[in-house]
Structure 1
């Protein structure tokens, strides 16, 4: 049994301690402590991001992603709130903070984390693995090296809640040959949209009245499962929109400089 599988099995055993049955990310394998608390993100942003993760334990085996390869997302836990909409995003901050920027690599509108659900929930077990997985392609522009990925989810039927789990990943080189200079790939990463945030103290709230969330900026990889309405009239309240993240609202500045084929490039994150 590999170290990664062994860690996953151990974490499953911890779930018998009686935590809530809210759906959580089962794969990619999260940081160990992510599975010890399964509440939604605090509505005041006090545990943003990754539900207040502080350990970010990299001592185990990280999830290995290869550029251009197919990976998958799968969740566990019966309280699925009728499905909903999910995003997969990545930050290069190895210990993410409130100021980290999460870049979207895949979005799913409707039918996530479970498809074709006829009931509000899929039982009441916290350890049941939900049927079906969600394939996505690791972008060829994802920077090589260690990173932290996040799965964020908004249920179709629930209070104004946002769920988030985070996992360690190591991005490796291409499956095939690539002719695009690395500097251009890096620039494309920083042009990717920021993850959609709501219900975390940023002033945007989901209504959860039967409409799944339609993302303002889903990115270049989007799957729409047409099993729930995307009715914007009952989707949001408050101030919502692209780029309305806690990091942006905090007024934090970062500047990235690198040299590409056209000279030095600077990218500003505000």
Structure 2
């Protein structure tokens, strides 16, 4: 994979004639780099096709469950798993491949020598994937409601909060995984452990009710478990046991699950800040 002309032509050194502070220009730089990254994503038809077609196909996989009269709690859990899969492929795997490819092509190294900060360079690469994830979540939701005969979400803001924080949490996770990934091809292998753990947390592999209590409690602290909890709370207003949540109980559940997502995001960001590899692995 070769570097995009738009990215390759980015300034390598700061202008000696520029007297304006760097911070006010951070957003224009971010938008410019993100636009170049979006052009690269549009050219990668396989990566773009997977990110679009897979989310649209997911509601059909869960159609038999809805046709068999699944309860609201079961459907909410399925929705949580469905959205985690969307985020895994549209955000996590997409970004993992992108970061490794840009590092291989020395694009990240070149951009780092310019005026853009490290955070701006990494955020610009993530922006198109996050925007695409937002679009695909909306489309998947619009398809799932009539197909699975779902009610409208009771608390849309909770739903948006859970999915938004979940998407952001996957950005540093992709960067951490990129540290142990030599090539774009090897990303198919290095991404498997994280995807397996996240699918377990989302309830898509192991039925929690069949696990020992200590294992079930441990799973609730996995990064994807709060996404499922917030989807359940936002869509049907219930907890993991199917009990209706309102008032202080709902706020406590919301605060706890949000805190877990923010903690994982912060830990990932700190690891990236200290240990991210900007040059190709030897």
Per the normalisation by structure 2, the TM-score is 0.28
Higher strand share: 1
Relative CO higher for 1 or 2, CA cutoff 8 Å, sep ≥ 6?
2
Bigger radius of gyration: 2
Higher helix share: 2
